[in-house]
């Protein structure tokens, strides 16, 4: 998928399976209660590293810093969209003459 922010056009792809745990960790860190400045610095640094790893795998060219947050959202939304499309393939109840019972996905 192509997205454009300002004068920069990015190619964005869904999050690969091996990086899903990084996205979960990112969400957990964002929700963590911060108890000190040191804690906030540590969590902030971890968030930067995780987001950089995610964007490095999913976005080209390398994002400008001011575009990173929006691109992370685009990656997440694209990942969700592709997951829902894959699920609908298996849940689709429209007629499918290639399948023995005539409905759903063809599992040949």
Give residue limits of the domains in the chain. Answer: 2-91
SS3 29: helix
Using the predicted structure, report yes or no on whether residue 35 has a pLDDT greater than 90: yes
CB 12 within 8 A of CB 2: yes
| Beta-bridge partners for 38 | none
State phi, psi for 21 to the nearest 5 degrees. -60, -30
CB 75 within 8 A of CB 56: no
Residue 88 tokens, joined: 């609908």
Q: How confident is the model at residue 85 (pLDDT cuts 50, 70, 90)?
A: confident
Alpha-carbon gap, residue 52 to 47, rounded angstroms: 8
Q: What is the mean pLDDT of residues 83-88?
A: 78
Q: How confident is the model at residue 99 (pLDDT cuts 50, 70, 90)?
A: low
pTM above 0.85, yes or no: no
């Amino acid at each position: 998928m192509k997205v454009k922010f300002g004068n920069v056009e990015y190619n964005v792809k869904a999050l690969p399976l091996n990086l899903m745990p990084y996205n979960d960790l990112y969400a957990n860190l964002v929700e963590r209660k911060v108890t000190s400045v040191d804690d906030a610095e540590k969590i902030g640094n971890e968030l930067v590293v995780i987001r950089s790893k995610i964007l490095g795998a999913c976005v080209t060219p390398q994002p400008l810093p001011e575009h990173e947050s929006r691109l992370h959202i685009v990656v997440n939304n694209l990942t969700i969209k592709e997951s829902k499309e894959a699920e609908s393939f298996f849940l689709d109840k429209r007629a499918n003459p290639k399948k023995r019972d005539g409905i759903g996905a063809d599992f040949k």
